[in-house]
Amino acid sequence: MARRQLELEIMRYDPEKDKAPWFQSYSVPCEEDWAILDAVNYVKENLDTTLAYRWSCHMMVCGSCGMMINGEPSLTCKTFIRDLPDKVKIEPLENFPIERDLVVVLDDVMEKLRMAQPFIIRKDDPPPPDTEYTQSRAALYKFKQYTMCINCMCCYAACPQYGLDPTFIGPAALAMAHRYNLDSRDQGKSERLDILGQHDGVWDCSFVGACSEVCPKSVDPAAAIQQMKVETAKEYWLQKLPGGRK
């Protein structure tokens, strides 16, 4: 198999030694079918064992390996070197504090995901253990696309509104909330929209659309958010009706 020599410029940061991040260059001999993750693994195994980064499944389902590759938030296991030039700049995901090297602090988005209340909410008592909710295929397809999120956080890296104001709840959390709002088994839409209709929720989005463009699983969080804006606007007026909700 043909080989290609790639020049990787990787951002480094050691919190105990460095005042600010800096770039280190590595020359990596690559097989032509490699993903850029393979090149980073080569660096770790053969050139510099001190490099810190996250990865796991190598097949676009775990969401661990999100990084900036030549300025674009991507999964390193999904970005193939055949689609990259010979010089590749690898940085940690944008808009997140850097823990060390390519590892970012994700505490904020973990909290945001919780705020979306990502579970079925029922107003009635739970059904007896041996009964089931029935859901047609049509009802499933209504929200299926939004279940595909692997929490890689590339959308937060792409979102300039999150960058300008990190109190914004963000694309993945909102797409997750929308997934449950659309689920026919769920009865918690009003409750979620009450939270997401606050100032740092749905209204901070200005529909840049970058989140959907970089999403490796085609979740389309931008569409979810616009639909939630419509629902929240409707809900606002419905709550004002006498004898209406709440």
Residues whose CB falls within 8 Å of the CB of residue 114, separated by 6 or more in sequence, listed in order: none
* Minimum separation from the CB atom of position 235 to other proteins (A): 6
Q: Residue 208 burial (CB < 10 Å; 0-12/13-18/19+)?
A: middle
* Minimum separation from the CB atom of position 234 to other proteins (A): 9
4 beta partners: 30
> What token pair was written down for 84?
């990259």
* Minimum separation from the CB atom of position 202 to other proteins (A): 9
- For other proteins, the closer of residues 8 and 222 by Cβ is 222
Binding site for other proteins (CB under 8 A): 13, 15-16, 20-21, 71-72, 94-95, 97-99, 105, 137-138, 141-142, 160, 163-164, 193-195, 197-199, 201, 203, 206-210, 213, 220, 222-223, 226-227, 229-230, 232-233, 235-237, 239
**In whole angstroms, what is the distance from residue 188 CA to residue 178 CA?**
11
- For other proteins, the closer of residues 28 and 219 by Cβ is 219
* Minimum separation from the CB atom of position 211 to other proteins (A): 11
* Minimum separation from the CB atom of position 38 to other proteins (A): 26
For 230, the enclosing helix (H) or strand (E) is: helix 221-240
- For other proteins, the closer of residues 2 and 20 by Cβ is 20
Phi, psi of 92 (to 5 degrees): -70, 160
For 12, the enclosing helix (H) or strand (E) is: strand 3-12
- For other proteins, the closer of residues 61 and 223 by Cβ is 223
